[in-house]
Structure 1
């Protein structure tokens, strides 16, 4: 039997993608370092389609039609390089290696460049949707050469999530573009979850709404412009009771958020390309501080809130809950705007012609950040290039939405500060918005200070060129 594609690495994601391919009519050659895992998959799901059992990578390659397509689903980093090293001598010019894991985009660029010299295509594919998405249709973000997409694209589009007849898969760009877009997707996901957490904390700590009541609030919010997968499942998590204690499950889960690195990579890359993704960065830092449990156990005992306990407490009722909804929506818009702005900066840095409308369309189904507002984002970029907004917040729909939410957003950030509730993404997103809207920022003083201690020069608002003040001499100004 000749297989259409081979999959090596049959942990949950690899196994589910293999099953997805087989369910869609492709013959899939299976390989895993432990043959027992291959046999377990075949025993449990062998009837779902046509599979070819192999015990070595050489057998896997021999089972494939030309050009050969090998999907690598192993842990990111050195394991990927190890599989590539073993695969390359077995392949021929024009064959395709696909990395479907969460690899760092710079490693994908390195691998693609190296294999290109040997005539082998290397495709870094971002796959979002978790285990369920991998099996039933994920959002797929492939990079690599256009030539490789001609062979691989129809197959990926067939197994991808479907949104009203459109596959959530499209060629992103060369070398590491696919993994980069997936990385930024995950960064937005970090911010999205953090603002939901901040909304929950404010409604509980300030307005006194318990988890069960909040479940109903989030369920209602999911019928508004906040409608999204994450809002939907938030209501389910909040209404869940712990079987052992009878308490809300959220109260018995340790409050230390884990992370696998993609959010951190997003923040680091944003610094490198000069893109201010403050919402994403603050969400990464929020997870970090949540994990400093030993430190927090000490500071809880000694740090003061600074709140005057004798001062009258404002009435934080239904109006406050609505304010929180608006603040959540505005902050969410900022996170998306910052992520897309980062993609533009990265495209300029790495030579990618990224289509923001197409990218937004891939996130409408199958992935974690799927949300109704993605249709509105697509609309913002579905215009001639000369009319596309420089920043998503400049699109008319979003400018109007922010203006409508702004008073509530400010009230919520003020309440968080006065009541001692940390809201880093709500606050930093508002500061980002205010930074964009100001016609003049204190950066002028920063430049003056830099010129004073380091002779870094500055520009003037009324003349061309760069200037320096002779601070240690007569303080006259000279043009450089």
Structure 2
């Protein structure tokens, strides 16, 4: 007789931990992995939770083990493997069963899958999950997209396994079809920007102020008690403290300076461009990761071009104080841009994304969790339709307070040849965004000159053309 209330397919790190989390919260879970040895290993290591786990050797056995209507979570590699798994499941499932893709899917694939399953009797949910291995096991942030009725059916399980912030579940339904995976994509784009700016600040302390890793760790630890309080600041302090047993050096000093990426950051940048919404901090972070991978080319460039001569630097503590505020300013830019992209997507796809809710479910469990998100939730709660966080009273005050520090850090970095692409882009974004009279009038003139694209005038209605070529 079917006993499981939910099933999980894919017992890699994330899938296995999610299944254990489900069992830990009192739900009976069926599990299946394409490699049966992995399923057996998972069951053998389930320990005290084994009586709430049904390990299945075949997909048919797996489906039979779940009470209908069946919620089935797929936690496999994004892309074609998800489509293959859906096709394998379809003949075995019944009306009202729910397929839940909990991987790092491209939201456009989620929308396609959602549409493809319409009329089959099956329901599809795209579920963004953030928090890494630890979050999956003990409580992630969960972002759900799909039919609201489908969410209601799985809401008890998903809220139970999610992270909690002051007793509030960090799980929510955000809209139809691809809404959940889109929000997760932007979450990851903001994460890219946040991590890059932290790395840039670390670089200024290491390469400009000559500080070693343990000393830098102490700075980040101090910052974690102030406005920058966040998971990423906390773990930065922790990793900088760790020494390598083999060399005795700080472990960060023996790690190769080439950052990996799995695609979500790029998707964030691409979608922001597609929607015509600037997300320059995210774009700079994605580009920086790509440049980091070009190690041999960078070494050749340094040997050929050299590094700029060092300039006199200010008092170290003054620089550190400015770095804290500059990092806060950059963080504001990244979040403002990310939420603006989500607002544009919400309009384009008719999702009606709840911005205060998104900020609230990011307060715990996810990688970008921070004190900062409570302030964002409050700002959107007061004005849900504000076009940009920079225009809210709280954040406009923060931008004014951090502006001078951001300028000094970007200027000092530029004079000393220190790469701070994300912080520089944040400054450029703010300077462009707040200037009522820009320079695009010249671009419009150029476009009209070579392509007769036309322009508008302040003193006339309709499309105009210039007297190029000597005609009036």
Q: TM-score range by the shorter chain?
A: over 0.9
User: 1:37 maps to what in 2?
Assistant: 38
Moved over 6 A (4+): none
- Which of 260, 263, 276 is the equivalent residue of 2:262? 260
User: 2:419 maps to what in 1?
Assistant: 422
- Which of 424, 432, 438 is the equivalent residue of 1:435? 432
Report deviation, 1:91: 1.4
For residues 319-334 of structure 1, the aligned pairs below 5 Å read 319-334=318-333
User: 2:459 maps to what in 1?
Assistant: 462
Change (3 A) 1:384 1:250: closer
Task: Quote the Cα distance in structure 2 between the aligned partners of 1:314 and 1:176.
Answer: 49
8 Å CA contact 1:193–1:230 kept in 2: the answer is: yes
For residues 54-453 of structure 1, the aligned pairs below 5 Å read 54-307=56-309, 313-383=312-382, 385=384, 388-453=385-450
Which secondary structure state, in structure 1, belongs to the residue aligned with residue 377 of structure 2?
helix
Change (3 A) 1:306 1:11: closer
Task: Quote the Cα distance in structure 2 between the aligned partners of 1:268 and 1:396.
Answer: 30
Task: Quote the Cα distance in structure 2 between the aligned partners of 1:184 and 1:361.
Answer: 15
Q: Which runs of 5+ in 1 are unaligned?
A: none
Task: Quote the Cα distance in structure 2 between the aligned partners of 1:231 and 1:461.
Answer: 48
Task: Quote the Cα distance in structure 2 between the aligned partners of 1:373 and 1:70.
Answer: 34
Report deviation, 1:46: 4.5
Which secondary structure state, in structure 1, belongs to the residue aligned with residue 117 of structure 2?
helix
User: 1:12 maps to what in 2?
Assistant: 13
Task: Quote the Cα distance in structure 2 between the aligned partners of 1:445 and 1:153.
Answer: 54
8 Å CA contact 1:206–1:316 kept in 2: the answer is: no
Which secondary structure state, in structure 2, belongs to the residue aligned with residue 3 of structure 1?
coil
* CA offset digits 1:66-113 (Å, max 9, x no partner): 211111111111110001001111112211000010011100000000
Task: Quote the Cα distance in structure 2 between the aligned partners of 1:390 and 1:98.
Answer: 32
Task: Quote the Cα distance in structure 1 between the aligned partners of 2:364 and 2:281.
Answer: 23
Task: Quote the Cα distance in structure 1 between the aligned partners of 2:340 and 2:366.
Answer: 20
Which secondary structure state, in structure 1, belongs to the residue aligned with residue 126 of structure 2?
strand
Task: Quote the Cα distance in structure 2 between the aligned partners of 1:390 and 1:78.
Answer: 36
Which secondary structure state, in structure 2, belongs to the residue aligned with residue 142 of structure 1?
strand
Aligned length: 470
Determine if the alignment matches structure 1 residue 475 to structure 2 residue 471: yes
Normalised by the length of structure 2, the TM-score is: 0.98
**Which has the larger displacement, 429-438 or 458-467?**
458-467
Report deviation, 1:53: 2.1
Which secondary structure state, in structure 1, belongs to the residue aligned with residue 283 of structure 2?
helix
8 Å CA contact 1:389–1:395 kept in 2: the answer is: yes
Report deviation, 1:470: 4.6
